[in-house]
Structure 1
Amino acid sequence: MIICSKLMPQGRGLARVLIQRASTITLDWDTRQKSRFDATDSAGRQLGVFLPRGTVVRGGDVLVAEDGSLVRVQAAPQAVLRITACTEHGSPFDLTRAAYHLGNRHVPIELQPDHLKIEPDHVLADMLRAMHMTVVAVSEAFEPESGAYGDHGASSHGHEHSHEHGPAGHAHAAQAEPHVHGPECQHGHAAPAAKPPAGKRIAIPVRAAPAAPHVHGPDCNHGH
């Protein structure tokens, strides 16, 4: 048995020709949501997959075997319910409502712009039809949405968030170190105002209060 303990989401970093030449394994969702399982690849080799707990394997991912060989994962078609909005009696918004009610029941859901997919469940199928949704049983690959903090996800496909979206891609801008003003900062700061020498007393003149105005009268003794 050959051990595979490394996963490269969607084969990022690998040349396309290497991915095309890799052997393949075709797995349904029940197996791909496990972090440890056995499988047989297209070359007939027995593989033992041992990934970190909580890892989910998606169609298009590439496993790296202990001998350095690559194994491309394919999502196997399986029985699912395909849910679409009724074109005669509903609107595209009905699909949002359906996703909301299914999410409240904590069932795995594959989200697509024009349809949803869930695993077969006749109770949920009846609920959806009562909401005027069209529900059809099909055999297709199933890639349900992962949690917001879960695996790399069916829809994200390895999209790494390092927020600062722009034409050059995603990158965190480095924070500049705070400027420290000093004698060598070359910012042309004005010289600080000179301070009076320590201990020197400064005389402050004090004006005498003006005398009250004289009022002439019989008692002023001015000899009027």
Structure 2
Amino acid sequence: MIVFTQSHPANDHQFVQVNLPLTAEQRTKTRQYIETIDGETYYLHLPRGIVLKPGDLLTCDTQECWAKVIAKPEAIITVMANHSLDLLKAAYHLGNRHVPLEITSDYLRFSPDPILCSMLVQMGLKIQEEITPFYPERGAYGHHHS
């Protein structure tokens, strides 16, 4: 089994042998087994504190194998509003609950939670279940709470 121990910023010039689709949560874990769609298993043993981004490259100590991190589609809830102030209020309430949140000017995204969905619907917001890559904010201090 190949053990990836080093991460590098995205670089189009490096030959990549493996694409590693990782969920948002998996991109925050530095010690884990990853199984690809092809049934291959790899192990991440990276320095603690690293949060991988799509496009980042991983390699083993010998640099014989290179892998590219890609954002794996996952179940998420997309929140939309008719007015930007309503979306800001939703971001405030979700932030108060320390929910990993993807924030754009048009929508918010978070992992499915029926209680939060109910709260948002009661606030008059539109929610939609989707399967898509999830890119939550890393936070003001660059770390992730789960």
SS of 1:102's equivalent? helix
Q: Which residue of 1 aligns with 2:58?
A: 63
Could you tell me whether the CA contact under 8 Å between 1:77 and 1:141 is conserved in 2?
A: yes
What 5-or-longer segments of structure 1 have no aligned partner?
152-224
What 5-or-longer segments of structure 2 have no aligned partner?
none
Deviations 1:62-104 (A, max 9, x none): 1122231320011111110001113xxxx12211111111101
Could you tell me whether the CA contact under 8 Å between 2:103 and 2:137 is conserved in 1?
A: yes
What percent identity do the matched residue pairs reach? 35
| Larger RCO, structures 1/2 (Cα 8 Å, 6+ apart) | 2
SS of 1:95's equivalent? helix
Amino acid at match of 2:133: A
Tell me, in whole angstroms, the C-alpha distance in 2 between the residues paired with 1:145 and 1:82. 15
Larger Rg: 1
Q: Which residue of 1 aligns with 2:2?
A: 2
TM alignment of 1:204-215, pairs within 5 A? none
RMSD between superposed Cα atoms in Å: 2.0
TM alignment of 1:1-224, pairs within 5 A? 1-9=1-9, 11=10, 14=11, 16-18=12-14, 21-40=16-35, 46-68=41-63, 69-86=65-82, 91-150=83-142
**Distance apart, 1:58 and its partner CA:** 2.4
Q: Report the TM-score, using the length of structure 2 for normalisation.
A: 0.85
Amino acid at match of 1:150: G
Greater strand share, structure number = 2
Tell me, in whole angstroms, the C-alpha distance in 2 between the residues paired with 1:120 and 1:49. 26
